[in-house]
Amino acid sequence: MLQMPTIKKVFPILALSIFSSMLGVGIISPLLPLYAEQMGATGIWIGTIFAGFSISRTIIMPIVGRLSDRSGRKLFLSVGLLGYAIISLGYIWASSVSELTLVRLIHGVASGMILPIAQAYVGDISPEGEEGTWMGYFNAAFFTGFGFGPLMGGVLTDHFGMDIAFYSMGGLNLLAFLLVIFFLPELRQRKTPTSPGASFKEMGTSGMMKGLFSFRLSFSIGRGILATFLPIFAGIYMGLSPTLIGILLAVNILLMSLLQVYGGNIADRFNRRVLVVVGSLTNFTYLALIPLGSNFWQLLAICALGGLGGAISMPAASALTVVEGRRFGMGLTIAIFAMAFSIGMAIGPLLGGIMVDFVNINSVFYFGAAIGLAGTTLFIWFTK
């Protein structure tokens, strides 16, 4: 068994790798809906393109999570980052809606090997009582990269075209791959449950896991709706440029990332369950306000409110997940938590695309708000 590294030694490498990777992924967030629409994609097809990424990621994550509990984290993290770098070129190759959907499916498989595995690594070596703090730091690295990405993508597209944005995503993920390969030590979890079947069965009886899954699912449905349809709402219906759209997404995510560290410290000192509920209430409120925005500055304020909600709820929920991970296996538990995110990121764009085609774009954001309220209610019920 390999020696357990200290978190202060390993965390900077993981944080830099995740930041670089998410910066690359975030670059295409404000571009992909517009890119797909240029290919002739309808609302349903745009939803399918976004959902394909999450569907394939959902399938692979519990498998990889369990294997990483037994075989170590570094291999899966390295393969995922390299896959991210290579598949970035696929976006340039794709010339039709079906080809773009295929690229997203492959991209999702690579994604399933990165975020939950890196987060499980941090969970393994987080000292007891400091789960919120280190998950806050981790979420900050994740959201900062993902937040600067849209801003960078909008500027690159305005000045150099979309192809440069896709090349940039590939280069940044290649950099993250090299950081992990050369500087991240291997790690195996010290204790895991005796069998995968027992883990799943026991996890199904945990009210906390059910509550966390409900929260994460509703949160991610709202995220999927925001990432997919805010660029269309702002770009097509309000006439905002890619740079301004990038700023809207960046402010939402960057504010959430900047406050993650404070949110993590608070989560180690106050009732984590209450913090999840308060953040969830804020999350669904801002979605309901988006259709009421009539200009860039109003949308900016609404997006900032959404960032605040995520900063309150996510560190507390992540810390609760780490505590459960010590019971059921860190890789598997965090993979299940991340699965909820992927399922929501698939459902949100798919149902949202249908609503755009058959109702209107405003209904999508109201739908996301209603789901957020339902998720908050379920979290309270399961964890009572």
Instruction: Tell me how far apart the alpha carbons of residues 150 and 226 are, in angstroms, rounded to a whole number.
Output: 13
Torsion of CA 342, 217, 45, 82, to 10 degrees: -10
Q: What is the pTM of this model?
A: 0.71
- CATH code for the part of the protein at 7-188+198-382: 1.20.1250.20
The model's pLDDT over 71-89, given as tens digits with 9 standing for 90+, comes to 778 888 889 889 888 888 8
Q: What region does 2 belong to: left with phi over 0, alpha with psi -120 to 50, or beta?
A: beta
Q: What is the CB neighbour count within 10 angstroms for residue 201?
A: 11
The model's pLDDT over 356-366, given as tens digits with 9 standing for 90+, comes to 778 788 888 99
- Amino acid identity of 26? G
The model's pLDDT over 215-243, given as tens digits with 9 standing for 90+, comes to 999 988 888 888 778 888 888 777 777 77
The confidence score (pLDDT) of residue 30 equals 66
Instruction: Tell me how far apart the alpha carbons of residues 18 and 367 are, in angstroms, rounded to a whole number.
Output: 31
The model's pLDDT over 94-149, given as tens digits with 9 standing for 90+, comes to 888 888 888 888 888 888 888 788 888 888 877 777 777 888 788 788 777 776 77
The confidence score (pLDDT) of residue 170 equals 83
Q: Where are the domains of the chain?
A: 7-188+198-382
